[in-house]
Amino acid sequence: MKVHGKKTGAGGALREPTPERGLEESDVALRKAMGLVNVAVDAQSRTVKAIIHDNVFTFFNLIFVVLAVLVALVGSYRSLTFMPIVVLNTLIGIVQEVRSKRTLEKLTMLSAPTARVLRGGREQTLRAEELVLDDVVIFTAGNQICADGVVLEGEAQVNEALLTGEADEIAKGPGDQLMSGSFIVSGVCKARLVAVGADSYISRLTLEAKKSKGVGQSKMILALNRLIKAVGLIIIPIGVILFLHQWLLVGNTVEESVVGMVAALIGMIPEGLYLLASVALVISVMRLARSKVLVHEMNCIEMLARVDVLCVDKTGTITEPEMRVEGAVPLSDEGDILPLLGDFAAAQASDNITMEAVKAYFTQGQGRRPLGVTSFSAACKYSSATFEEGCYVLGAPEFVLRERFGEYQALIQSHAARGARVLVFAQYAGRADGRALTAGVRPLCLVLLRNPIRKAAAQTFGYFAQQGVQVKVISGDNPVTVSQVAMQAHIDGAENYVDASTLQTEEALCKAATRYTVFGRVTPAQKRALVRALKSAGHTVAMTGDGVNDVLALKDADCSIAMASGSDAAAQAAQLVLLDNDFARMPLVVDEGRRVVNNIERSASLFLVKNIFSFLMSFFSIVLMCTYPVGPAQISLISAFTIGAPAFLLALEPNKRRIKGTFLRNVIERAFPAGITDFILVSILMLVGRWMGIPDEMISTAATILMSVVGLLIICYIGRPMNLWRWAIVAAMVAGIALSATYFHWLFDMSRLSLHCTVLLLILCALALPVMLGLGRATQTMVDFSFRMARQFLRRCKGLGARRRKEEGR
Known catalytic residues are 313
Task: List CB contacts of 441: < 8 A, sequence separation 6 or more.
Answer: 393, 400, 401, 402, 404, 426, 427, 428, 429
Residue 531: which of 167, 113, 163, 799 has the closest Cα? Answer: 167
Residue 89, exposed/middle/buried by CB under 10 A (0-12, 13-18, 19+)? buried
Q: Cβ(682)–Cβ(617) under 8 Å?
A: yes
Peptide bond into 237 cis (omega under 30): no
Task: List CB contacts of 533: < 8 A, sequence separation 6 or more.
Answer: 509, 510, 513, 514
d(CA 485, CA 312): 12
Residue 77, exposed/middle/buried by CB under 10 A (0-12, 13-18, 19+)? exposed
Residue 121, exposed/middle/buried by CB under 10 A (0-12, 13-18, 19+)? exposed
Task: Specify whether the backbone of 22 is left (phi greater than 0), alpha (psi in -120 to 50) or beta.
Answer: left
Task: List CB contacts of 536: < 8 A, sequence separation 6 or more.
Answer: 510
Most distant CA atoms of the chain, gap in Å: 111
Residue 301: which of 661, 593, 554 has the closest Cα? Answer: 593
3-state secondary structure 454-515: CCCHHHHHHHHHHCCCEEEEECCCCHHHHHHHHHHCCCCCCCCEEEHHHCCCHHHHHHHHHH
Task: List CB contacts of 111: < 8 A, sequence separation 6 or more.
Answer: 294, 564, 571, 577, 579
d(CA 693, CA 702): 14
Neighbouring C-beta atoms of residue 431, cutoff 10 Å: 13
d(CA 474, CA 526): 9
Chain-centroid distance of CA 652 in Å reads 20
Pairing assessment for the beta strands 183-195 and 177-178 based on DSSP bridges: unpaired
d(CA 140, CA 355): 13
d(CA 447, CA 424): 6
Task: Specify whether the backbone of 181 is left (phi greater than 0), alpha (psi in -120 to 50) or beta.
Answer: left
Number of H helices and E strands in the chain, helices first, is 27, 24
Neighbouring C-beta atoms of residue 554, cutoff 10 Å: 28
Helical residues (DSSP H) of 653-754, grouped into ranges = 663-691, 696-718, 724-743
d(CA 417, CA 432): 30
d(CA 161, CA 142): 14
d(CA 799, CA 793): 10
Sign (positive or negative) of CA dihedral 350, 351, 352, 353 = positive
d(CA 286, CA 104): 8
Angle between helices 586-624 and 219-244 (to 10 degrees): 20
